[in-house]
Structure 1
Amino acid sequence: MELALEAGAEDIINDEDGSIEVITPTQEFIQIKEALLNAGLKIELAEVAMRPTLENALSGDDGIRMQKILDTLDDLDDVQEVYTTAVIEN
């Protein structure tokens, strides 16, 4: 994935399922996507998403309450994406 880094990507993450995440600055998104497509790579999903710079660990009752809030928000028809800095620990 040197190609993505050369095109301006900040980071490459190899996920456990074999997929690859390319982290880019928002303003470089289209340019990097086009570079990957022009190289003949198949892109299954390309989207701009919010990623937290800091995470907050929640466990116990706090984790349960946060998960309920996230589930409720996600179930709303008007909500397309839900982002959080919470990391819910079991």
Structure 2
Amino acid sequence: MVLSTPVISLTSDVALLPIVGDIDTNRAKYIMDNVLERCSKLGVDYLFIDMLDVVIIDKMVAHRIFNIVNSLKLLGIEAILCQN
């Protein structure tokens, strides 16, 4: 399932997280766990979260996404959300 949330290093301090498909609460939790670990290992300062291919985001999923953003902030990583 790691391929469902790849954190792609773009430069030494910038990474990209493309999210494709539906996000349910279980996948959002997995994304949080994986993203925090990968960003820490990569030592990035900025993470672009590309949600352009996510069609539906309900309240619970939005809450989880904001938790990911806030958790990244605690690690000193600024998250930038991209969505239609």
The question of a shared fold, defined as TM-score above 0.5 by the shorter chain, is answered with: no
Normalising by the residue count of structure 1, what TM-score does the alignment of the two structures yield?
0.28
| Structure whose CA Rg is larger | 1
Q: Which is richer in strand? A: 2
Normalising by the residue count of structure 2, what TM-score does the alignment of the two structures yield?
0.29
Q: Which is richer in helix? A: 2
